[in-house]
Amino acid sequence: MRLHSLTLQAFGPFAGTHTIDFASLTSEGLFLLHGATGAGKSTVFDAICYALYGKTPGDRDQLLRSDHAADHLLTEITLDVTLSGRRLEITRSPRQPRPKARGTGYTWHNAKALMRELKHDDTTGQDRWEAVSKAHDEIGDHLQALLGMSRDQFCQVVLLPQNQFTQFLRAKAPARKDLLSKLFRTSRFTGIDTWLLNRSREAEKDLKAARSDVISLIDRIHQAATGLDHESGAPATDDPQALPDAALTWATSLVQTATAHLETADTQTQAAAADLAVQQAHERTVDLLHRQQSEHRTAADQLAQLEQQAPRQQHITDQLQQARRAAKLAAVLHAAHTADDEHTRAEILERQARDTLRAPHTTASAAELATAEQQTRAQATLVEALLPQEAAMRQMAQDLQQLDTERQALAADQLEAGEWLGKEPGRRAELAARLHAAQRAETDSVHQQTSIEDLQRRLTAAEQRDDRLADVTSREKRWESADKTVGEAAQAYITLRRQRTEGMAAELAEDLAEGTPCPVCGSCLHPAKAAPHPGQPTREDEQKAETRHLKAEKTREDAAAALNEARELLAQARAQAGDTPLDDIQTLLASAQTDLEATLKTASDAGPASMELAALDRDHTAMTDQATTAGEHLAARNTAYDHLTTQLADLQGQLDQARQQAPSITDRLNDLNRTAGQLKTAATAATTTLRLEAERVLRADEAETAAHEQNFPTAHAAEEALLDDAALHTIEEEIKSFSHQRAVHTATLERPVLAQAASQPPADLEDARRLNKTAAQRHTDAVAATTAARTRHDQLTELNTRLTDSTQRLHPLQEAYDTVHHLHEVIHGTSTSNRDRMELEAYVLAARLEQIVDAANTRLRLMSDHRYTLAHSDDRASNGARSGLGLKITDAWTGRDRATDTLSGGESFFASLALALGLADVVTYEAGGRVLDTLFIDEGFGTLDDDTLHQVLDVLDSLRAHDRTVGLISHVPELRRRITSQLHVRKGTDGSTLHPVSHIAE
């Protein structure tokens, strides 16, 4: 990499546009960047890093745009550089506010990037720049491929930060490993370690699962062999080597015993089935006789009950005959009822019609009512002729009201215009002040938004840090709870197992029977069998306790792994967020957001204020016209109002005489028409009532005559005898059902089979059922015993087969686990064969560290006047710590090795510098041998005495022999006297500036 030029515009402390010509600055191979503290010396390297990687060094969010820059000048970096033999120009600008092209205020300018390459045009013979890409990601990938290193590696190799490498010099092996791992990307070796660990755990899990399958099958065989002597010869599960063979021998013996038990049970089942068939046939014979005797007894009882219903049957027969005679009179009786109902309704209608009339018409005859109707209609005709005059009066009243409304509106318009014109000057001054305040707020809001974005990024990092701290606390509690549960489960399992062992004699005694030899002593007599203690645990209880213990241990392992992961995440979050309390950041952010909301609210008023001022001008013209027009129209309306009032008074007097007491002529006409209609209705109702009275008397006489003809004393008696079709049908069905039932029961008693059964002694069905039930129970028990024996035999046979398969899997799984577990321990550094306890990644990094130390010592000897040399140490660390990445200093004056933290400040500086240069050489080689022509060394020279400083500078001068350019960033005065090519960074109240300085000018 060779730098040609760098242009900074509105970047960091530099407010204007500055170009650094590295071609002339690096002509002597060594140049100096110096200036006051805070002037922006390191910003030059920040700009180079931003141009190449789109981000400044480190993890901090640097404010790229200069606070001193003019609004129209955009922040932009342009770097002209040669990478891997290709001349490139990279231009980048971050996202930033810029003034709006139209109007006031600011808008956002999006981040942009452009990469061009200088190529030779064979046609013209000239060099020209050609665009390569404008995409941020594509440019980043292209440059990283050419550089061969990440941004972190570039910052470690091209910019040598002495403070960090002093830490690297004195760091412990774990910290040194973290840095070297990032630079040399050796995480893939950690991946091998992790893969082997996971494979070891999987192999162990498979082995435990296979062994658990065997133990589980043994437990299931114990359960399936209930009723057999399954404890005799049972295998011990605590001996993994002997377990397979012992389990197979024991299981095969149980299968043979179960076969013998099954044959005995089959013989007993066949005998019980024969006895059951005999008892079932006997029950069927007794049941038939019992049913025949019950049927004969039931028929006799039902016939006796029917004879008691004879009076009831005679009564309903007579009622049926009367209803049939009355049905012949139904039409005549219905006509009499209809005539009577119609006459009653007519009387009600006449009474209702007369109630609407006024005296004296309420008692008048039908003829008198008709005459009164004709007279009322004649009066209505006279009143109707006056309706147009009343309509004219209403129109005049409406016109008068319309004139008054217009007069009031015109007066209000005149008053409104006068009041508005009086308030206008104050309103105009208020709007001008609002517009000025809004324009000023637009400018302030841009700076406030930038501050809020920075606070929001800090708040997000702090929230993540606090969340992960809470997560660590929560997972620590879960681990403590799981650890406590493991202890309790282990204690419960041990206690229960001890109790079962103590009561094992009682457990064996449960299977002892008289005449069966004891599995312990062989005696067939058992005079004093051991009894179980209260709460004696079983084998199942012991297995459940063991399962709970294993489950608790698994839970604790998961909790420990989760806790370690949470702690690593917390460390990463703390590194990003720092230690600033979340509440403090939230308070600052809330305050900034409140200020921004107030500012934006004020700024948003610019448009409305401008629009309101324009509207105010328009309203002034409108209100002036409104005041003049309203005065003219108001005078005309007053004259018309007085004339119309006089005409309305004259017409009102004429119509009052015609209305009498009615509110209006229309109301008077409606009242007369309504009265005429009421008189007509009453006359018609009176005439109808007289006619229906005669019809009612005639129909009543006809009904009485017809009732006498059918032998009924009165028409009312005939009407009471009537029945509807449903009642008639019910009586007929009841009579028919009585006759049918009496015939059926009589025929049943005359059947010979039932009569013969009734003559025999009562059948004892309960005794026959009891004998059959007893035989069925014996058969069921025998079948159940056979089924249980067959099930036990089948289960033991299947489990024996599965046990054979499971025991054959144990040996290859054990060999696989032993192999991968041993290999992981060797790689991880925990095996006894790995004497230095060195991990694979540490082993690889140790080789890189040796290369770094060799490269560093070539310069350290010169810097220290051949007194000091660095040495890599792979001695085994104390207290079981990891080994392989130790560093020590060999002092040629004493001939002894020293710890790196015993060096003085100046000694630490040039030792760290030598180590940094050595690291740069090795990382450059690892990056594919790409040449880094330019290096920057940032500060640290103030700790050196004059002689040592000259020795260090001699070493740096030697870098030019390899065609390297070294830039020193320092404010040490001696360097300004020693180095001729300089770049002076000056700071001021309006930003920093860059000034090339020659040796003569200095």
**What pLDDT digit, counting tens, does each position of 969-981 carry?**
877 777 777 788 8
265 has a pLDDT exceeding 60: yes
How many Å apart are CA 1001 and CA 472, to the nearest integer?
61
Residue 595 scores a pLDDT above 70: yes
What pLDDT does 880 receive? 46
Higher pLDDT, 36 or 118: 118
Statement: residue 798 has pLDDT above 80: yes
**Averaged pLDDT, 498-518:** 65
Task: Flag whether pLDDT at 188 surpasses 60.
Answer: yes
CA 151/CA 264 separation, integer angstroms? 86
Residue range 62-90, pLDDT digits in tens: 568 888 888 888 999 999 998 877 899 99
Q: What would the two tokens of residue 700 be?
A: 């009543």
342 pLDDT above the threshold of 50: yes
Per-residue pLDDT, averaged over 516-542, amounts to: 66
Cβ count within 10 A of residue 912:
26
Write down the pLDDT at residue 866. Answer: 82
Is the previous residue joined to 13 through a cis bond, with omega within 30 degrees of 0?
no
Check residues 389 and 17 and name the one with the higher pLDDT.
17
Q: Render pLDDT for 900-926 as a digit per residue (tens, 0 to 9).
A: 777 777 777 777 777 777 777 776 666
* pLDDT, mean of residues 689-701: 82
d(CA 352, CA 362) in angstroms, rounded, equals 11
- Looking at the predicted structure, is the pLDDT value of residue 177 above 90? no
Amino acid at position 883, single letter: S
- What would the pLDDT profile of 423-477 be if each residue is shown by its tens digit? 888 888 888 887 788 878 877 787 778 788 777 877 887 888 788 888 888 888 8
Q: What is the mean pLDDT of residues 835-846?
A: 70
pLDDT of residue 163: 54
What mean pLDDT is predicted for residues 660-673?
77
CA-CA-CA-CA torsion for 279, 282, 283, 288, nearest 10 degrees? Answer: 160
pLDDT at 329 (0 to 100)? 78
Mean pLDDT along residues 725-745? 82
In terms of Cα–Cα distance, which of 326, 251, 319, 92 is closest to 801? 251
The pLDDT of residue 686: 82
Q: Does residue 821 or residue 503 have the better pLDDT? A: 821
The residues, ordered by sequence, that sit 6+ positions from 643 with a Cβ below 8 Å of its Cβ are none
Examine the pLDDT at 144 and tell me if it is beyond 60: yes
Mean pLDDT of the region 743-749: 82
- Per DSSP (E only), the strands in 163-295 are none
Rounded mean pLDDT of the chain? 79
pLDDT reading at 1002 higher than 60: no
pLDDT of residue 959: 63
- Sequence-separated (6 or more) residues with CB below 8 Å from residue 472: 563, 566, 567, 570
Q: pTM above the 0.95 mark?
A: no
Averaged pLDDT for residues 574-590: 76
pLDDT digits (tens, 9 = 90+) for 31-59: 888 888 778 888 888 898 889 888 887 65
Does position 810 have pLDDT exceeding 80, yes or no? no
Instruction: Work out the pLDDT band at 878, boundaries 50, 70, 90.
Output: very low
Beta strands 965-969; 868-873: pairing state: unpaired
pLDDT at 162 over 60: no
Q: Specify the pLDDT at position 147.
A: 77
Strand order in the sheet with 981-986: 159-161, 934-938, 965-969, 30-35, 981-986, 993-997
Q: Is 987 left (phi over 0), alpha (psi -120 to 50) or beta?
A: beta
Mean pLDDT of 325-346: 82
pLDDT, mean of residues 678-697: 82
**Residues 885, 871: contact at Cβ < 8 Å?**
no
pLDDT at 222: 81
Which range has the top average pLDDT, 20-34, 63-77, 153-167? 63-77
pLDDT confidence of residue 8: 92
**What is the structure's pLDDT at 525?**
61
Query: What is the residue-wise DSSP string for 209-230?
Result: HHHHHHHHHHHHHHHHTTTS--
Six-digit token string for 331: 């039409």
Arithmetic mean of pLDDT, 225-254: 77
Q: Are 821 and 198 in contact (CB under 8 A)?
A: no
What does the chain come to in residues? 1002
pLDDT at 328 over 90: no
CA distance 319 to 723: 9
What pLDDT, on a 0 to 100 scale, did the predictor assign at position 1000? 39
Task: Give 156's pLDDT tier (boundaries 50, 70, 90).
Answer: low
More confident residue, 927 or 9: 9
- Cα separation, 522 vs 515, in Å, equals 11
Q: In the predicted model, is pLDDT for residue 393 greater than 80?
A: no
Least confident of 173-177, 521-525, 717-721, 864-868: 521-525
The token pair at 998 is 């020659």
Least trusted range by pLDDT, from 76-90, 775-789, 885-899, 951-965 = 951-965
Q: What is the pLDDT of residue 414?
A: 81
Q: Determine which of 147-161, 244-258, 733-747 has the lowest per-residue pLDDT on average.
A: 147-161
Please report the sign of the dihedral spanned by the C-alpha atoms of residue 793, residue 796, residue 801, residue 802.
positive
Tell me what pLDDT residue 999 has. 47
pLDDT, residue 534, reads: 65
Q: How confident is the model at residue 844 (pLDDT cuts 50, 70, 90)?
A: confident
CA distances from 130 to 121, 165, 429, 929 (A): 10, 41, 59, 28
Q: At what angle do helices 840-863 and 173-184 cross, to 10 degrees?
A: 90
Q: Is the pLDDT of residue 422 over 70?
A: yes
Q: How far apart are CA 574 and CA 466, in angstroms?
A: 9
Q: Return the pLDDT at 183.
A: 65
Contacts of 302-310 spanning 24+ positions with Cβ under 8 A: 302/741, 302/745, 303/742, 303/745, 303/746, 303/749, 306/738, 306/741, 306/742, 306/745, 309/738
Which pLDDT value is given to residue 929? 44
pLDDT at 1001: 39
Choice among 18-27, 654-663, 701-710 with the minimum mean pLDDT: 654-663
Distance CA 390, CA 662 (A): 13
